[in-house]
Amino acid sequence: MKRSYSSLFVEIGKYAFITGAVVTALVTSAAMASSQGFKAPVAGPLKAVSAQLAIKSPKVNVCPATATMAGWIQTNKPGPVSYMIARKGGTVSGPFTLQAVEAVNGGMASFTKSFEVHNAINAEYRILVSGTDGKVMSNWVPLTASCKIKLGG
């Protein structure tokens, strides 16, 4: 069976096209996998990374009034995290436990709590994350209420 050079180039062209398609598919699938952020699970114990606290003080001069406290604790992976709430120059309440859920960069635990303010207050609070030797804590956040007008309660 005699073959010409032109048929040989056609055969080589087919293999080159197939090889190019396979390489393109492999590169595309690798790029898609990396763009979706697939990563191995974080080994080791759960660690708190940062904490943040926010307090919405009552906007009225009448007490009792409602205030709201919200907090966020970022961790290296999902899991249970314990924290306490400290009053500057005062008491510490807790520990409380939250479940950190999967987030973009590890885990995130959050809480929101509404409570009644019955007396005038001008204090600051922060989150202290348990088990971090004082290394992870939030900023100090003020809670203020004048309570110039007191109603029953």
Domain of residue 78, residue span:
48-150
Helix (H, G, I), strand (E, B) or coil at 146: coil
One domain, residues 125 and 144: yes
One domain, residues 15 and 90: no
pLDDT given for residue 29 in this prediction? 63
Phi and psi at residue 24, to the nearest 5° = -60, -45
One domain, residues 34 and 52: no
One domain, residues 5 and 78: no
In order along the chain (153 residues), what is the average pLDDT of each group of 10 residues?
58 62 62 56 82 95 94 95 95 94 93 94 95 88 91 64
One domain, residues 74 and 145: yes
One domain, residues 77 and 126: yes
One domain, residues 21 and 82: no
Partners of 84 in beta bridges: 128
pTM for the whole thing?
A: 0.69
Query: How many separate domains does the chain show?
Result: 2
Give yes or no for a contact between 69 and 94, defined as CB atoms under 8 angstroms apart.
no
